[in-house]
Structure formats: structure tokens, C-alpha cells
Chain A
Amino acid sequence: MEGLGIQLAFYSFAAVTIGSALLATMAKKIVNSAFALMATFFGVAGIYGVLGSDFMAVTQIVVYVGGILILLCFGMLLTDRVPDEFRVRSPRRYVGASIAATLTFVGLAWAISGTAWARLPHITDGSAEALPTTALIGNALLTDYLLPFEFASIVLLVVLVGAARVARGGTR
């Protein structure tokens, strides 16, 4: 039951993710695009959950649904009049987007194929019961992955300063 249930959950979340991602890119109205994107983020969170990483799943919702997508909604709320339909007109944009998408895909594929997946104890010893991952992630961040952890704060600082500068430029 365990195996089948997990498989079913995984494939349904994957279907939600891919389907709504397609919708998000194809939708003519920006609102529909935003809602499709919300479904995509939830689908990804669900996949994290199925894979036994509950902290990642919750963080996905906090940061993407509760943060990034809200920024998008703010863009919609604050602009003069959102064009109901938007369409990319110049073919150069298509070329640029295709190149970026291909590079991202290759990079992700490379990273996925190079990862030693069975690192967590609950995967290596075959017990399907997921461990509480929050403490594991905290411990890993503070020991083996300290540099990325501290680097994240620098990145956030740079963005903060950039945002403040842009804001003052806009209002002055």
C-alpha cells in the first residue's frame, strides 16, 4: 500500500506541476497565469513532501507562494491597467528565452545526474518513514554548508540595497 500510494501521490503532484506550468506559460491573461503558477508551486511542494522533505515543502510554500507570487500580484494591483492579453511580439525574445531555458535544463540535468541521491538515512536503509528534516537541515547548514548559508545573507543584503536604490530613484 505504501509503495503504490507514494507512486500515485508522486505522479499526481508531477502532473499538477507540469500541467499548471504549461498553463502558466500559455495563458493569455496574466491573472490566469498567476493562478496557474500558484498551482505549480503547490505541486512542487507536494513533490518535496512525497520525497520525505517536509521542511523543503513548507519553505517552498512560504517563499514562493507566500512571497514571490505576492510580488507578482502586487505588480498587477499597482499598475495602471493590466493588459488583458499579453503576447511576445519580437522573435528575438523567443530566441533569448529558448537559449535561457535550454541552458537551465542542461544545468539542472547535469546537477541531477551528478547527485548521490541516497544520502539521507531513511533512504539508504530502506525505511520509508521520513525523518524530521528541520533539525537535519539546520545541522547541515551550520556545519558542512556554512559558506552557502552565510553567502545567502550577503546576496540578500545586495538585493536589499539594490531595491532601496531603485525605490529612491523612482520616487525622487
Chain B
Amino acid sequence: MNDYLPVLFMALFGVLFATAALGVSALLGQRGRQNRVKNTPYECGMPIESHAHARFSVKFYIVAMLFILFDVEVVFMYPWAVSFGNSDFARDAFPGTGLLLAEAAAFVVVLFLGWVYVVKKGVLEWHQEA
């Protein structure tokens, strides 16, 4: 796993860099006055109306769910692509190129049907009033 050790170095570097940057500005930054108005959320100078956490459309949540599903699909397809693109495996292994293609096609078509259903259901319509 020595291949991944430098990635850890880089992550550590990132953490140190961010900490140093935030620390420097916290230490050297000018001390300003505090008052009530300065401590209110920025709304372009208008008086604050209600609190920030309003309810959002459920569509955002649906988008996140759809994302996970397609994300898993894409992750499944990557090892397939490697096996399929490797001509030695495709030639010598038991399935053969055609069958390999059919296996992926079955996988992708099933999910594509799901996509068609989602679009037909109008889940991804954003312009109409929800």
C-alpha cells in the first residue's frame, strides 16, 4: 500500500496549510468593533425577515437520492470497463467479447429504464410550480 502513502502526505499538507492560513489571519487580523448590526446575517442591508432555515423543495433531496443510485451504477461499470478494455481477458476468458458486452448492456439498460421512468414521472421538472 506504499502507493497511497504520498496521498496521506498530501492530505496532511492540506490540513497544515489550511490551519496555518486560518491561524495567521486570526492572529494578525485587525481587531474590529462588535455591535448588534454587524452580527446580523447579511441580507443586502434590508432588515432581517424570519430565520434562515426555510423549508426547501423535496426535489433537492430526490436529486441527491438519484445521484447515489447512478453513482453506484458508475462505480460498478468501472471494473467492467477495465476488464472489457483489456483485450487479453476479453479474448481468453470464458465469456468472450460479445457476452461481456451483453452483460453490461443488461445492467445499463435496466437502469436506463429507471431513468426513463423518473423523467416520465416528471421528477426532474424544475420550471413548474411544485
Does chain A have a CB within 8 A of B15?
A: no
Complex Cα gap A143–B75 (Å): 18
With A62-B75, A163-B62, A163-B65 as known contacts, state yes or no: A154 contacts B117, CB within 8 Å.
no
B98 to chain A, nearest CB (A): 13
> By the criterion of a CB under 8 Å from any partner CB, how many residues of chain A are at the interface?
52
Distance in angstroms between the alpha carbons of A146 and B84 in the assembled complex: 14
A81-B51, A141-B80 given as contacts; is B107 within 8 A of A171 (CB)? no
Chain B residue at minimal CB-CB distance from A51: B1
Question: Quick check: is A26 within 8 A (CB to CB) of the other chain?
Answer: no
Are B61's CB and A68's CB within 8 A?
no
Using a CB–CB cutoff of 8 Å, the interface residues on chain A facing chain B are: 6, 9, 49-50, 52, 54-55, 57, 59, 62-63, 66-68, 70-71, 74-75, 77-82, 130, 134-135, 137-139, 141-143, 146, 149-150, 152-154, 156-157, 159-161, 163-168, 170-171
> Can you name the residue of chain A whose Cβ is closest to the Cβ of B71?
A67
A63-B81 Cα distance, complex, nearest whole Å: 18
| A80 and B53 within 8 A (CB) | yes
A142 touches B100 (CB 8 A): yes
Contact flags B36-77 to A (C-beta < 8 A → 1, else 0): 000000000000000101111111111011111101110110
Per a CB cutoff under 8 Å, which of B79, B108, B130 touches A171?
B130
Q: Which residue of B lies closest to A160 (CB)?
A: B114
Whether A80 pairs with B130 at a CB distance below 8 angstroms is no
Cβ–Cβ contact B62 & A167, under 8 A: yes
SS class, residues of chain B in contact with chain A: helix
17 contacts between A and B (CB under 8 A): A70-B67, A74-B60, A137-B79, A138-B83, A139-B93, A143-B93, A152-B107, A153-B110, A154-B110, A156-B72, A156-B73, A156-B110, A160-B115, A160-B118, A163-B123, A164-B121, A166-B62
Shortest beta-carbon distance from A16 to chain B in Å: 13
Interface status of B122 (Cβ within 8 A of chain A): yes
Question: A81 is contacted by which of B53, B61, B76, B80 (Cβ under 8 Å)?
Answer: B53
Is the beta-carbon distance between B53 and A82 smaller than 8 angstroms?
Answer: yes
Answer whether A171 and B76 are a contact pair too, CB < 8 Å, given A81-B53, A142-B103: no
Chain B residue nearest in CB terms to A140: B79
B64/A142 in contact, CB under 8 A: no
Q: Are A67 and B72 neighbours in the complex by a CB distance under 8 Å?
A: yes
Q: Is B24 an interface position by the 8 A CB rule?
A: no
Inter-chain contact B83/A157, CB cutoff 8 Å: no
Residues A157 and B111 in contact in the complex (CB < 8 Å), given A62-B75, A66-B71, A138-B83 = yes
| A83 and B82 alpha carbons, distance in the complex (Å) | 46
